[in-house]
Each structure stands twice: as structure tokens, then as C-alpha cells.
Amino acid sequence: QKEVEQNSGPLSVPEGAIASLNCTYSDRVSQSFFWYRQYSGKSPELIMSIYSNGDKEDGRFTAQLNKASQYVSLLIRDSQPSDSATYLCAVNSLGGATNKLIFGTGTLLAVQP
């Protein structure tokens, strides 16, 4: 079973700190990796996408990918209370006849004022 795993949390950080969210995946042929943010009862919204090993930065967000370790992470610098949400890691699965995005169950982030 191809899976994407995340710690469910909650991950609690003080305002202004760095939040570190982690994700591991099992499908070695995966090529595209995404982080989504989801507020309760709302639809997922894209935060970052990453396709090659290394770091990718966008404002306060940095995505890190290590394909050898099958690991992808999201760092949020200067965390704000508005960042409190569930963060979903998603990985494309192209093995065999499948072509779909597999989501982790998400990590709940709570930023304390």
C-alpha cells in the first residue's frame, strides 16, 4: 500500500517561532510533492509545491525534499496565529495503472499568541 504519513499533532508553537512539519512517503517513483493548508470546514489551499531535491523558499515558507530518504518537510518561519490550521502533505503516485494524488492525514498546527 502506497502511503503518505504525517504526525497528526497538534504541533503547538509560540507566535514568532519556526514550525517544522514533516512527511514521509513510500512510493519511490513519486515526482511531485505538495503542501496544502486547510482551515476547519474549508477546502485545501496550496502552500508549496516541490519537484526536485533540496529547498524551495516562498516568503515565510520553505519546503525541503529528500528523495533518497523519501522525506518532505515544510518550515514556517515567524509563525502567526493565522497559520493555525491543518497542513496536508500530498504526493503523486504514478505506479502501474494509477495516476493519483495521495494525501497524508494532516498535521494540526496551533500557533499560540
Cell reading at 18: 519556526
- What is the C-alpha to C-alpha distance for residues 54 and 2, in angstroms, rounded to an integer? 23
Asked if 101 interacts with other proteins (CB under 8 A), we say: yes
Determine, following the binding rule CB under 8 A, whether residue 111 of this chain makes contact with other proteins.
no
Residue 82 or 99 with smaller CB distance to other proteins: 99
| 69 part of the interface to other proteins, by CB under 8 A | no
Q: Rule CB under 8 A: is residue 46 a binding residue for other proteins?
A: yes
Using CB under 8 A as the criterion, what x/- string covers residues 9-38 for binding other proteins?
----------------------xx-x----
Please state the closest distance from residue 106 (CB atom) to other proteins, in A. Answer: 6
Question: Grid coordinates in use for 53?
Answer: 531535491
Strand pairing class (54-58; 71-76):
unpaired
Minimal distance in Å, beta carbon 13 to other proteins? 22
Q: Which of these, 108, 105, 106, lies nearest to 84 by C-alpha position?
A: 108
Burial state string for 29-64 with b = 16 or more CB within 10 A and e = fewer than 16: ebeebbbbbbeeeeebeebbebeeeeeeeeeebbbb
Residues that bind other proteins (CB under 8 A): 31-32, 34, 41-46, 49, 51, 88, 90, 92, 94, 97-106
